[in-house]
Amino acid sequence: MPPGHPPVPQPVAQETFRRYICHHPPDFRTSLCAHLKCVEMAHFTIALHNRTLQLTREGLGFIMILIGVGLGAINTGNNLLYLILAMCCSFIVVSGILSEMSLKKLSVQGQAPPYLYAQEHGSVILKLSNHKKWEPSYSIRVKPAQSRQSFSLEPEPYFFFIPAGATMEKPVMLTAQKRGHLKISACRLTTRFPFGFFYKTKTIPLKLETVVFPSIHPVKLPEYSEAGLEGEGTVQPRGEELHAIREFQPGDSLSSVHWKSSAKTGNLRVKEFHSHNLQSYTVFLTLTDPASNRPVTGEVLEERVSEAASLIYHLIQKGHEVSLKTEENQTPFDSSEAHLLDLMRQLAFIGIEDEC
């Protein structure tokens, strides 16, 4: 501060800084906060040989006490203070040794569902194995290998005690943000054991793969009509016809019993008819912009794919037969669960490349 100028009061300085930040666009404020956070973390994080060591708030307080004891020992020459200083330093050494032993010879396996829908939860089983012969592991957390990823694990898997030679399981919920092929190839093991002074992290391989279907949202379905509809779905009315012959179930009417088939098998079998309200729908998915005749990308593509997937999902859930038609091909009509999965798998990769 130049001489002769009075000091700026702290509230005034804070208000000036707030106005300076608010006059800048949101992107600037976000990048500034991220930069300040990275600078703050960089002062207390050390990375070496697939390990990262991050100082905690408790660890920072302990080091401040250690520095104070050290300065007191140097200034006074008191042997007791030197003994306390040596004991404090030994705590840090013991913390590093025990945390390394806790992270040593651990592996993680994951069992993911074959598919899940974007922005919806899917159950995943994580197995943490301790391959040490004698030493157990304590206070292990499993986190994604990257800070920015297209998925999340909730709640964060935490293993308090893993005996030597044992395998522990934790169910977690996997949520993917976008459709496509989700492949998790690594994870981080983090521990604060034993004193909570440091976060020690180790990155290990993890093989976890699944297919993420497009997100499903509520849609307004076409009402039943004897005439065809134009637009997203084309309706083809159907009459009542024999669909299948199945085993008799409680609640079935005796008038629908197929006596000839029942006599052959020795069990009551009933006739299953198509309902008058069941129809065939063709869901059109346009992947090009009519104005420019170029493929659509980004949010426009995702909105169209999600809209088509939602129509297909809700129509098949109501028993209707559905076909998906694009500029390149058209699928057969069907209302089975297998057909629904085939259409969702096709929509999961349409317009994007398979991500590895």
Q: How does DSSP assign 158-202, residue by residue?
A: EEEEE-TT-EEEEEEEEEESS-EEEEEEEEEEEE-TTTSSEEEEE
Do 181 and 56 share a domain, yes or no? Answer: yes
pLDDT for res 22? 53
Percentage of residues in the chain with pLDDT exceeding 70? 75
Asked if 200 and 51 sit in the same domain, the reply is: yes
Q: Is the pLDDT of residue 40 over 70?
A: no
User: Mean of the per-residue pLDDT values for the chain?
Assistant: 79
Q: Whose CA is closest to 211, among 118, 109, 284, 293?
A: 118
**Is 5 part of any domain?**
no
Range of the domain at 279: 233-239+274-349
Predicted confidence (pLDDT) per residue in 61-87, tens digit = 999 999 999 999 999 888 999 999 999
Are 106 and 188 part of one and the same domain?
yes
For residues 54 and 199, membership in a common domain is answered with yes
* Residue 46: partners with Cβ closer than 8 Å, 6 or more residues away: 52, 53, 54
Q: Which amino acid is at 104?
A: K
Judgement on whether residues 283 and 160 belong to the same structural domain of the protein:
no
Least confident segment among 150-154, 187-191, 232-236, 321-325: 232-236
Same domain for 110 and 201, yes or no, is: yes
Instruction: Find the mean pLDDT for residues 314-318.
Output: 87
- Whether 32 is in a domain gets the answer no
According to the model, what pLDDT value does residue 238 have?
A: 42
In a domain, 36, yes or no: no
Answer yes or no: do 199 and 289 share one domain. no
Of 223 and 349, the structure prediction assigns the larger pLDDT to 349
Lowest mean pLDDT among 6-10, 76-80, 329-333: 6-10
CATH number at residue 173: 2.60.40.10
In total, how many domains does the chain have? 2
- β-sheet bridge partners, residue 289: none
6-15, 21-30, 252-261: range with highest mean pLDDT? 252-261
Is residue 29 domain-resident?
Answer: no
